[in-house]
Amino acid sequence: MTLFGNSYPRIDLSDSIVLITGGGRGIGRATAELFAAKGARVVLADVDLAAAEVAAGAIGGSATALQLDVRSRDDWEKAVAELGRVDVLINNAGVMPVAAFLDETDAIIEATMDINVLGLSHGMRVVVPGMIDRGYGHVVNVASLAGKIPIPGLVAYNASKFAAVGLSAAARLEFAPHGVSVSTILPSAVRTMLSSGIELGHGMPTVDPEDVAAAIVATCRSRKAETPVPGYLSAIDLGLAVAPERLLNLVRSLADGNRALTGVDHSARAAYESRVLSVTDQS
């Protein structure tokens, strides 16, 4: 792909170091498996080192685990120093609290912004200078369709993902002349712990982690700016950008758009919510 007259240099995955945050579970683990199958050296970074080690062990080969809290600039610096170089950075780590905005705690909101936005910022600001020095590299920021569509019950998550989309789009423009591409992935609801306790389907497009992983790996070739998952949502995304609020509210009601506010099974979500709280305790 070309931008501003500059061609993005081809990335040979069989000779690449791929750093994946949130690599211990879900989308991160599925993405690591797919990159490893293509011959890349994958590094599964996660604040939960034990989960990353289990995932890396299952993948085998050259896959390795690394403890990384994406909120910590020092952790990023240490990771890059240890690896020597990163050819492909997958900023996947994220949290999704579900609650009425006025009921949410300050600690959870701050952690959501720190992980979902500053985590991406720290990663790019530490990793991309090396890519620019080498004249090539690729960054994938895993955002969400919630970065385009407001959803009651996900106000803090919406805010973080809208920010992630804007951060990625502007950084893409700055890095392109240096041969470094930035792609944003916009999944709909994904069958992972992130969506546990929330009723899926019934008008809400739902995908598996492997679907998102395939879209992530595909950007290493296409270098597309944004990729919704599933792909057919690209047309819907364009329509939402110009649709009047009354029409959007009708569509939301037909798809039970308040389910994250009124239809959450918190007992089924307890394990995930406990993990999110444990992260805030480490701040």
Catalytic residues: 157
**Exposure of 282 by Cβ count < 10 A (0-12 exposed, 13-18 middle, 19+ buried)?**
exposed
Helix axes 119-134, 73-83, angle to 10 degrees: 30
Whether the Cβ atoms of residue 190 and residue 209 lie closer than 8 Å to each other: yes
